[in-house]
Chains A and B, each alone.
Chain A
Amino acid sequence: MIRYHIELALRSLRRNVVLTSLMIIGVSFGIGASMTVLTALRALSADPIPAKSARLFSVRIDNWGPDVPNNAAASDLLSYPDAMALMRAHQGIRQTVMYAPVFSVTPRSGDAIPFTATGRAISSDFFAMFEVPFAAGMPWSKADDDDRANVVVLGSKIAQRLFPAGDAVGKTITLGEQNYRVVGVLAQWRFQPRVYDLSSRLYQETEDIFLPLTTAAARRLFSYGGSYCDKPPSHDWDLMSRSECRWVGFWVELSSAAQRPAYLAFLRNYVAEQRRVGRFHWAANVALLDINETLQAEHIVPSEMKISTYAAFGFLTLCLVSATGLMLAKLGGRATEFSVRRALGASKAQIFAQCLAEGAFVGVAGGILGLGVTALGLAFERAILREDYARLIDLNANAVLTTVVLALVAVTLAATYPAWQSSRLAPAWKLKAE
Chain B
Amino acid sequence: MPIIRALRHRKIGAVLIGLQIALTIAILANSLSVVQQRIAHMRRPTGLDEADIFTMANQFSGSMTDLSARIQADLARLRAIPGVVDAVAVHSFPLRGYGGSTGVTRTSDLKASSVNAAEYSFPERTLQTWGLRVIAGRNFTATEFKEQPVGTDWAPPPVVIVSQALAKALFPRGDALGKDIYLTSSAPTRIIGIVERAQTPWAANESVLFGAENAVLEPIQTVSPSIAYVVRTRPGRNAALLAVAQQQLYTLSRARIISEAQTFAETRAERYRSDRSLILILAVVCLLMMMVTVLGIVALTAYWVVQRRKYIGMRRALGARRADVLRYLQTENLLIAGFGAVLGVVMGLAGNAWLASAFEMTRFSAAYIIVAAIMLLLLSQIAVLWPALRAAMLPPVAAIRGH
The B-contacting residues of A in range 288-326, CB under 8 angstroms, are 302-304, 306-308, 310-312, 314-315, 317-319, 321-322, 324-326
**B151-168 toward A: CB 8 Å interface, digit per residue (1/0)?**
111111000000000000
How many B residues face the partner with a CB closer than 8 A? 73
**B117-137 toward A: CB 8 Å interface, digit per residue (1/0)?**
000000000000000000000
Are B292 and A30 touching (Cβ within 8 A)? yes
Q: Which of B43-51, B66-74, B233-241, B298-306 contacts A (4 or more CB under 8 A)?
A: B298-306
Q: Beyond A314-B26, A322-B292, A385-B273, is A234–B153 a contact (Cβ under 8 Å)?
A: yes
Cα–Cα distance between A19 and B306 once the two chains are bound (Å): 14
| Contact pick for B153, options A30, A114, A235, A325, CB 8 Å | A235
Q: Beyond A232-B183, A236-B153, is A70–B61 a contact (Cβ under 8 Å)?
A: no
| Contact pick for A114, options B23, B184, B256, CB 8 Å | B256
| Contact pick for B59, options A30, A116, A233, CB 8 Å | A116
In the complex, which residues of chain A have a beta carbon less than 8 angstroms from the beta carbon of B255? 114
Are B285 and A69 touching (Cβ within 8 A)? no
Are B13 and A325 touching (Cβ within 8 A)? yes
In the complex, which residues of chain A have a beta carbon less than 8 angstroms from the beta carbon of B113? 69
Are A114 and B288 touching (Cβ within 8 A)? no
Cα–Cα distance between A379 and B354 once the two chains are bound (Å): 31
The B-contacting residues of A in range 80-125, CB under 8 angstroms, are 102, 104, 106, 111, 113-116
**A220-244 toward B: CB 8 Å interface, digit per residue (1/0)?**
0000100000111111110100000
Are A116 and B154 touching (Cβ within 8 A)? no
Does B349 belong to the interface (CB within 8 Å)?
no
Does B262 belong to the interface (CB within 8 Å)?
no
In the complex, which residues of chain B have a beta carbon less than 8 angstroms from the beta carbon of A230? 184
Does B114 belong to the interface (CB within 8 Å)?
yes
Are A235 and B278 touching (Cβ within 8 A)? no
The size class of the interface chain A forms with chain B is 35 or more
Does B402 belong to the interface (CB within 8 Å)?
yes
**B284-323 toward A: CB 8 Å interface, digit per residue (1/0)?**
1110110111011001101110110000000000000000
Are B274 and A302 touching (Cβ within 8 A)? yes
Are B23 and A232 touching (Cβ within 8 A)? no
Does B330 belong to the interface (CB within 8 Å)?
no
Does A332 belong to the interface (CB within 8 Å)?
yes
In the complex, which residues of chain B have a beta carbon less than 8 angstroms from the beta carbon of A235? 148-154, 224
Are B277 and A386 touching (Cβ within 8 A)? yes
Q: Beyond A26-B296, A318-B293, A325-B299, is A116–B259 a contact (Cβ under 8 Å)?
A: yes
Cα–Cα distance between A70 and B288 once the two chains are bound (Å): 46
Cα–Cα distance between A102 and B60 once the two chains are bound (Å): 12
Cα–Cα distance between A106 and B60 once the two chains are bound (Å): 12
Does A380 belong to the interface (CB within 8 Å)?
yes
Cα–Cα distance between A310 and B348 once the two chains are bound (Å): 13
What's the least CB distance linking A223 to chain B, in Å?
12
| Contact pick for A311, options B155, B281, B296, B359, CB 8 Å | B281
Q: Which of B14-22, B195-203, B363-371 contacts A (4 or more CB under 8 A)?
A: B14-22
Are A106 and B154 touching (Cβ within 8 A)? no
Does B92 belong to the interface (CB within 8 Å)?
no
Are A333 and B114 touching (Cβ within 8 A)? no
5 more contacts with CB within 8 A, not counting A26-B295, A318-B20, are A22-B295, A304-B275, A326-B296, A332-B307, A333-B307
